[in-house]
Structure 1
Amino acid sequence: MRILVCLIGLILTLTACGKQDQSYIPSVAVNYQAPLTDPRLSRLNAIGGSVTVPGGVSGIIIYRASASSYVAFDRCSSYQPERRCAVTIDDTGLTATDPCSGSKFLLSDGSPVKAPATRSLRTYSVSVNNVSIFVYN
């Protein structure tokens, strides 16, 4: 009887671990670099400016938060990321919207401001020198 109980417990443990949580944005290597003079980055010349660039899971958004700081986020929505819906920058330049779910995210920190999303966008590190901008993880 003791062996039967142990065997059933082992089977339940092994089968319970079979399903993985799909609710996180996948981690991929990011190493984007561009000269600050690149015309595609011209919107970053002003505070509150943002651009989309290739990389990450669904692309990257770079946002100029202040005169000396930039933030970068993966465009992959944090709501049902397995769908890989790329958020788009809104006309206001303050938020980005997931076209699949209607979720909205602040560009200043990536946090959700409209349901159904409850998690922030994946962030990447940003550094800038006098010549180039670097986005990496």
Structure 2
Amino acid sequence: MIYFDMKAKILKTLIPILLIFSILKILNSCGNIEETTSCFPNQLISVQINISLPAYYQLQNVGGWVYISEQQSGTRGLIIYRASATSFKIYDRNAPHICPDTNTTLEVEGGTLVICKKDNAKWFLMSGAPAEVSPYALKQYYYSFNFNSNSNILNIYN
């Protein structure tokens, strides 16, 4: 009988401890839910551009890309890429794997890769998937675009 009482006390002590550790593990794993480093800036993204304007002319063709550094386009701006006739990719220009500083603004290289000058990390422009160094894909944002109208307005948001 003493054995069962002792076992019950151990279980009563162990179960709450295991539960606390499980909850902490779950909360910690949700800290990088957007798959970026924990110091990645969380900024409001709300940009509206007319791709018919000369500054955005490259976005009318598949494979075209531009930098956007307008108000509410994040801390370093955005890279907009025309992935297909009916889709865009919108990437943040902050490197997703290291804390931002002056050398971590991402740049497009050769029309196919995005690079970080600080550590030479690379991502594929077409998909945002990491090519070298970074374990994280590029941070992407949502967009809306009516491909069946003549308005040519691209709305970007998070």
TM-score range relative to shorter protein: 0.7 to 0.9
After the TM superposition, which residues 1-137 of structure 1 pair with which residues of structure 2 at under 5 Å, given as runs?
Answer: 23-24=37-38, 25-54=40-69, 55-83=73-101, 85-91=104-110, 93-115=111-133, 117-129=134-146, 130-131=150-151, 132-137=153-158
The question of whether the paired residues in 1 share the 8 Å contact of 2:52 and 2:60 is answered with: no
Shift of 1:107: 1.4
Name the structure with the higher helix share: 2
Q: Give deviations 1:94-127, integer Å, cap 9, x for gaps.
A: 1111011100111122111011x11111110011
RMSD (CA atoms): 1.9
- Amino acid of the structure 1 residue aligned with 2:106: V
- For residue 141 of structure 2, give the secondary structure of its aligned residue in structure 1: strand
Structure 1 segments of 4 or more deviating over 3 A? Answer: none
- For residue 136 of structure 2, give the secondary structure of its aligned residue in structure 1: coil
Q: Give deviations 1:47-104, integer Å, cap 9, x for gaps.
A: 111111011121100011100100101010112133261110112x111110111001
Cα distance in 2, alignment partners of residues 126 and 35 from structure 1 = 13
Instruction: Report the counterpart of residue 14 of structure 1 in structure 2.
Output: none
The question of whether the paired residues in 2 share the 8 Å contact of 1:23 and 1:82 is answered with: no
> Larger radius of gyration, structure 1 or 2?
2
- Amino acid of the structure 2 residue aligned with 1:43: Q
Gapped regions of structure 2 (runs ≥ 5) = 1-30
Aligned length, in residue pairs: 116
Gapped regions of structure 1 (runs ≥ 5) = 1-19
TM-score (norm 2): 0.67
- For residue 82 of structure 1, give the secondary structure of its aligned residue in structure 2: coil
- For residue 81 of structure 1, give the secondary structure of its aligned residue in structure 2: coil
TM-score (norm 1): 0.77
